[in-house]
């Protein structure tokens, strides 16, 4: 009688996360793209304001608001990022005093 064929009744059920990891990775990539585009829009807005092109800057402001809404909506759907592990404290070795 082999043990390999016996099924365990204590085996835990496979738990699937709410979102698939591929979906989460794709959403994080999309979020990074939106944030990069938002940065470019803000730079463009600043340049237009510095060149006193207020009408064009007003149009860019609307694009910035739309991108910020898209970013907020996407980040609300994402689970919070995993907390970074706490670094372990270290000690610096002190020189030993030699006995004479």
pTM summary value: 0.60
27-82 per-position pLDDT tens digit: 999 999 999 999 999 999 999 999 999 999 999 999 999 999 999 999 999 888 78
Contact present, 31 and 78 (Cβ < 8 Å): yes
The answer to whether 56 and 48 have CB atoms below 8 angstroms apart is yes
Q: How many CB atoms lie within 10 A of CB 60?
A: 19
Cβ neighbour number for residue 46 with a 10 Å cutoff:
12
8 A C-beta contact, residue 27 and residue 74: yes
Among candidates 83, 74, 84, 85, which has minimal Cα distance to 24?
74
For 57, other C-beta atoms within 10 Å of its C-beta total 18
* Longest CA pairwise span in the chain (Å): 86
**Can you give the pLDDT at residue 47?**
96
pLDDT of residue 14: 53
């Amino acid at each position: 009688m082999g043990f390999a064929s016996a099924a365990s009744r204590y085996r835990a059920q496979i738990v699937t996360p709410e979102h698939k990891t591929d979906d989460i990775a794709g959403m994080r990539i999309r979020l990074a793209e939106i944030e990069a585009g938002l940065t470019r829009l803000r730079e463009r807005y600043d340049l237009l304001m510095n060149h006193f092109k207020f009408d064009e800057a007003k149009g860019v402001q609307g694009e910035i608001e739309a991108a910020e809404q898209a970013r907020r909506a996407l980040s609300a759907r994402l689970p919070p990022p995993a907390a970074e592990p706490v670094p372990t404290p270290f000690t610096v070795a002190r020189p030993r005093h030699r006995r004479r």
